[in-house]
Structure 1
Amino acid sequence: MFDRIMGKYLLDRGTITKAQLYTAYQVMESRRAKLGVIAVTEKLLTVAQAEEINAIQATKDKRFGDLAIERGYISEIQLGYLLSLQLNEFQTFTSALVEKQIMTLEEVDDAIRSYQQDKNLTDEQMTALKDGNPDFIVPLFTGTDDAEYNALFKYGIKNIYRLIDTHLSIDNATIAGNIKEECIAYQSFSGDVKATVALVGKNSDLQKLAKSYTKEEFIETEEDALDAMCELINCINGLYATDRSKQGKRIELDPPYFITRFGEISGPELHVMTVNCCDAEVRLVIAAGQDVTIK
């Protein structure tokens, strides 16, 4: 994830061009494969086993390797071997920049230091970013210590990362009183925790996410795209509710809904995080512990 965050940072600063960034990402794609693909090619998993684990990931907030161990398909030693074959995305990205002579090693190092200073991050936080674990990355961008907001953002971004596009970047969350957008998919829940989670964006952008999420080539209507986004939000909130139930909290999910042809979300304090993935930009909106109006 940090490769995309850093790439956007370099692009926004004018340090590199879109063409150069695309070249670096092409190099990365040629060198990195998903863990399931590696496991199959190494004959540690069958295709059916890998597909089974991919399906389980849609309902459980666990990494591919951990699920493979739980199912008894591989050992911890075998998982360590597979991970050693899977290159670190950020290190691969910076290596590609240098290899293709887009930036020198010194320029890359200077840019990383500038990013750290601009974002006021500690060395420990930068290490977490470079390691690429969403569990550690997402809380750095929420701008709050509130446990519910951090948990909901984490489940939201992790599921977009796992189920739609591992090549995503996020921006620092902002707070707004209302948001107007072409399309809105949302779900509310109540009980011991009350919140609304929404994905908002242009129809063309949500269609790109929907195609990646459903693995279907043709998502032709706004309704098709928003149906898929509602399913994703239901998955996000379902995992969150399951986690909170383990803590003895009761959560009741309302059915997800969507609005096309411009809608508006209003509330006392909407927390908004911009997500860039699938060559699209959408916003993940969360309102916890408050009433919101959606029309």
Structure 2
Amino acid sequence: MLNRLFGNYLVNRGYLNPAQLDDLLETITEYKADPQTVILVNKFLPLSQIRFIQQSQMQEESFTEAALRLQLLTDNQIEQIVQFQSLPVMCFAQLLLDKQILQTEDIMCVLADFQMYYQFTDEQLHVLCIDDMEQIIRIFVPFQNPRMHELTVTLLQTIKRLIDKNVYLDKAYMAHSIQIDRYAAQTLSGDLNVKFYLSAPINNLLAIANYFGSETYDVINDDALDNVGEFINCVSGLFATNLSYEGIDVDMDAPRYGMEGPYLNNGKIYVIPIHANRFSFRAVFELCQ
């Protein structure tokens, strides 16, 4: 998620164009970050000490071996650095440096500006860096209802796995009322009663419809919305299964959909803005008594 957020920030600041960003995000799977990049991004050492280690390396001595010899890093820190080298955001940072989109001297300033722009704390930025989806969701979706949090986690994990690995969120909110756009939905009833919508104007639900199942669509129609409904059914099934382990029984109605959505006004509505595959849409949970 951080790669897309940081990448969008770089696009807005003129470092990249959207097509370049998409290409870079596809390329990072082939990358592994250098230890120096991990150390810099995670603030293990300042750039001056990184350069001192590089200048002090003996023949055939690796950077981390030199850092240990100079007692600038501990064994535990080295283990953590090795683990972090394959994290998506570290690979993205390495790619930005290798492509000379950002210079080593600049990357920390740009990251600091990015952090200030989104008002992330150091702890939140760390959570984003290590790609801990459950904790990331707590940053953007501060719902006090634990079941709505669990449903959100299941939804986002499923989108990330099946739809778009670079899915990201805007800040979620609660609403007393909301107009639903084109939508697919499912009602969960039993020990928990909630109506689960995915909704978006125009053709934005193609973000789901064209990436779940074998069919692709040029515009949203009933078949495309039916596909979105099947995706919701998949998410709801996973959610209901997890609840069953806690002795909570939930039944799922058949998914439904429509080109014109209802107006919801029951006062307990959870709204989560989601971005995937260049489209924006909303997950809406209507909690029923």
- TM-score, normalised to structure 2, is 0.72
In the aligned structure 1, how far is the partner of 2:276 from the partner of 2:267? 28
Match in the other structure for 1:137: 136
Q: How does 1:26-37 map to 2 (within 5 A)?
A: 26-28=26-28, 30-31=30-31
Post-superposition offset of 1:257? 0.8
User: Matched residues in 2 for 1:107 and 1:275: separation?
Assistant: 30
CA contact 1:186–1:256 (8 Å) conserved in 2: yes
Q: 1:22 and 1:200 mapped to 2: Cα distance?
A: 25
* Structure 1 residue runs without a partner (length 5+): 33-82
Identity of aligned residues (%): 26
Secondary structure, counterpart of 1:249 in structure 2: coil
Q: Distance in 2 between matches of 1:147 and 1:179?
A: 22
* 2:5 and 2:168 in contact (8 A); partners too: yes
Segments of structure 2 that go 5 or more residues without pairing to the other structure are 33-81
Residues 200, 280 of structure 2: 8 Å contact kept: yes
- Given that 2:182 and 2:258 are in contact with CA atoms closer than 8 Å, whether structure 1 keeps it comes out as yes
CA RMSD in angstroms comes to 2.8
Where in structure 2 are the equivalents of 1:215-254 lying within 5 Å? 215-218=214-217, 222-254=221-253
The answer as to whether partners of 2:187 and 2:196 remain within 8 angstroms in 1 is yes
1:105-147 CA distances to partner (integer Å, 9 max, x unpaired)? 3433233334444545443332221112322221221022321
Q: Secondary structure at the match of 2:247?
A: coil
- Is this contact kept in 2: 1:24–1:100, CA < 8 A? no
Equivalent-residue separation in structure 2 for 1:262 and 1:192 (angstroms): 26
Does 1:287 find its partner at 2:261?
no
2:199 counterpart SS class: strand
Question: For the Cα contact (< 8 Å) 2:203–2:220, is it kept in 1?
Answer: no
Alignment of 1:48-127 (within 5 A): 87-127=86-126
Give, in angstroms, the shift of residue 29 of structure 1: 5.1
Write the distance in 2 (CA, Å) between the matches of 1:23 and 1:233: 29
Distance apart, 1:90 and its partner CA: 0.6
Q: For residues 150-169 of structure 1, what are the structure 2 equivalents within 5 Å?
A: 150-169=149-168
- Partner AA of 1:4 in structure 2: R
Q: Tell me if the contact between 1:187 and 1:196 (Cα under 8 Å) persists in the aligned partners.
A: yes
How far apart, CA to CA, are the structure 1 residues paired with 2:14 and 2:153?
A: 30
The separation in 1 between residues aligned to 2:14 and 2:266, in whole angstroms, is 36
Distance in 2 of aligned mates of 1:15 and 1:145: 38
Task: Name the structure 1 match of 2:2.
Answer: 2
Q: Residues 269 and 119 (structure 1 numbering): CA distance in 2 closer, same or farther, change over 3 Å?
A: farther
Alignment match, 1:60: none
Q: Call closer, same or farther: CA 1:265–1:174 in 2, change over 3 Å.
A: same
Contact 1:275/1:283 (8 A) holds in 2: yes
Which residue identity is paired with 1:10?
Answer: L
Counterpart residue type for residue 131 of structure 2: G
- Aligned-pair CA distance for 1:173: 0.5
Which structure: larger Rg? Answer: 2
Contact residue 181 and residue 200 of structure 1 kept, 8 A? yes
Work out whether residues 84 and 130 of structure 2, in 8 Å CA contact, stay in contact via their aligned partners in 1: no
Question: Is this contact kept in 2: 1:184–1:263, CA < 8 A?
Answer: no
